[in-house]
Amino acid sequence: MILLLTYLLSGMAIAAAKPLDKRLDNGLGKTPALGWNSWNAGQCNFATAQRALQAADLFISLGLKDLGYTYVNIDDCWSTKSRNSSGYLVPDPQKFPNGIKAVSDQIHAKGLKFGLYGDRGTQTCAGYPGSLNNEEKDAKTLASWEVDYWKYDNCHTTNENSHTEYEKMRDALANSGYKVFYSLCNWGRDNVWTWGGKVGNSWRITDDNFNSWNYVATIAAKGASIAQYGGPGGFNDWDMMQISNGKLSAAEERAHMGLWAIGKSPILLGMDLTKISQSSLAIVKNKGLIDINQDALGKPATTFRPSGAPAPSSKLYPYWAGPLSDGVVVGLVAADNAVTLSVNFTDVPGLGAGTFSWTEMFSGKTGSGTSVSAQLSLHDMAVFRVKKV
C-alpha cells in the first residue's frame, strides 16, 4: 500500500514537472525580436488595421525594415468585447473591417511579420476576452490568420504568480500548425526568467516601461541582475521602447536604445511612426547597435566593477560589458550625473592585457589602446565595440 502510494505520488510529481521540461521548440527568436507595437503609441486607439498597415509601410519608407525591424504588433483592444456564438475571438469590425487575415496577408506581402496580443486570464487588461480555457481554439484561430507573434498578458487571473496557463498556451501554439513567436508578458512575476526559456521566446522582466527616465534606469538595472537567463531562442524582454514619445531627452533616448541593445532585449518601437523626430529616428536606426543586439552569440551584456569604482547597488550602474561573436561590447552610462567615465581593458570581462581597437556606436569614433573613456552628459551613454588588434 505504502509502496503503491509512493509510486503514485512520484508519478504525479513527474507529471507535474513535465510541462516545464518541454521547450517551445519553434526555431524562432534566435536573436531578440525587432519591430513595433501599437500600445505605447496610442493604446486602444492604435489597435487598428490602418495603424498596422501604416507602420508596415513606414518600416519600408523609413529604412527600418532594411535594418531588421520585422514585427508589426497590435496590442490590446483589437477584438470585440465578447466571443461569437461558437466561442471564437472576433476582430472588431470597425478596427479591422476586412478581418485579421487580410492584414497579415498584406504585411507578409511586404516581407514583414504580424503580431497580436492576448491574455491568459478571463479578460485582457483592457477588458477584452482572455484565452483562459480557450487556449486551443485561440491558437488555431491565430494559425488560421497566420499571426507570427503572440504576446500573452497576465490580467484577470486567479493567481498572477502562476505559470500553468503560459504552458497551456505554449502547447496549444505548438500544436496549431503555424510557427508563432511566443512572448510572455507576466511582468517578471514568478521569477519568469528561471522558466521562461522552456515556455516562450521572450518574457517581460518588470512592470511596464512607463514613459520616464526612472523606468528606463530601473528596468535596465533589473536586466543586468538576470542577464545570464537570456540566450538564443529565449530573451529577457525589457519592454517596449519609449523613444520619441516626448518624455526622454536625446541623451536618455541614446541610453535607452544602447542599454536595450547590449542587454539583448527585444527592441519593439513604441512611437507613432508618422511623427518620429529625425533625432529619434537616427537613434533607432543606429546600425552598430542593432548589429550588437542581433549578434549571433546572443549573450546579454551585464555590469562589471572596474578597480576603484564604487560597488554596484540595485540602481543603474555605469559600467557594462558582454561578449560578442568577434569581441566585446563595453557600455558606459552616466547614470547619476554628467561625468567622464573610463575603463582599462584589463578590468573588462573577456578582454585583458594588450592593445585593442574600438569603435564608439553613437559618434562613430574609432581608436586603439588599452582603455576607453567617454565624456557624457546626464544620462547619456557610449557603446564601444572592442576587438583584439
User: Which cell is 157 given?
Assistant: 487571473
**Helix, strand, coil % in the chain, rounded to nearest 5:** 35, 20, 45
Burial of 267 (0-12, 13-18, 19+ CB in 10 A): buried
Cβ at position 43, least distance to ligand GAL in Å: 7
Nearer to ligand GAL, 113 or 204 (CB): 204
User: Which cell is 327 given?
Assistant: 569581441
Q: Which stretch binds ligand GAL (CB under 6 A): 25-33, 122-130, 210-218, 283-291?
A: 122-130
Q: Which of 92, 171, 208, 291 is catalytic?
A: 208
Candidate list 28, 41, 116, 185; residue touching ligand GAL; CB under 6 A: 185
Coil/strand/helix, residue 154: coil
Candidate list 148, 153, 190, 347; residue touching ligand GAL; CB under 6 A: 153
Q: Which stretch binds ligand GAL (CB under 6 A): 120-128, 138-146, 221-229, 362-370?
A: 120-128
Q: By Cβ distance, which residue is nearest to ligand GAL?
A: 125
Q: Is 126 in the site for ligand GAL (CB under 6 A)?
A: yes
Q: Which of 57, 138, 148, 153 is catalytic?
A: 153
Q: Is 260 in the site for ligand GAL (CB under 6 A)?
A: no
Beta strands in 179-230 (DSSP E): 181-184, 202-204
Nearer to ligand GAL, 75 or 148 (CB): 75
Question: Would you call 272 a catalytic residue per the annotation?
Answer: no
Nearer to ligand GAL, 70 or 124 (CB): 124
Contact string (CB under 6 A) for ligand GAL, positions 26-65, x = contact:
-------------x--------------------------
Task: Tell me the β-bridge partners of 151.
Answer: 117, 183
Q: Is 182 in the site for ligand GAL (CB under 6 A)?
A: no
DSSP code per residue over 251-264: HHHHHHHHHHHHTT
Please say whether the beta carbons of 374 and 360 come within 8 A: yes
Query: Phi-psi category of 279—alpha, beta or left, where left has phi over 0 and alpha has psi -120 to 50?
Result: alpha
Cβ at position 374, least distance to ligand GAL in Å: 32
Candidate list 41, 49, 125, 301; residue touching ligand GAL; CB under 6 A: 125
DSSP code per residue over 51-114: HHHHHHHHHHHTTHHHHT--EEE--S--B-SS--TTS---B-TTT-TTHHHHHHHHHHHTT-EE
CB environment 233-261: b (16+ within 10 A), e (fewer): bbbbbbbbbbbbbeebeebbbbbbbbbbb
- Report the amino acid identity of residue 280: S
Cβ at position 204, least distance to ligand GAL in Å: 7
CA 296 to CA 181: how far, in whole Å? 18
Q: Which stretch binds ligand GAL (CB under 6 A): 117-125, 174-182, 244-252, 339-347?
A: 117-125
Nearer to ligand GAL, 78 or 319 (CB): 78
Question: Would you call 208 a catalytic residue per the annotation?
Answer: yes
* Active-site annotation, residues: 153, 208
Residues that bind ligand GAL (CB under 6 A): 39, 75-76, 117, 124-126, 153, 155, 185, 187, 208
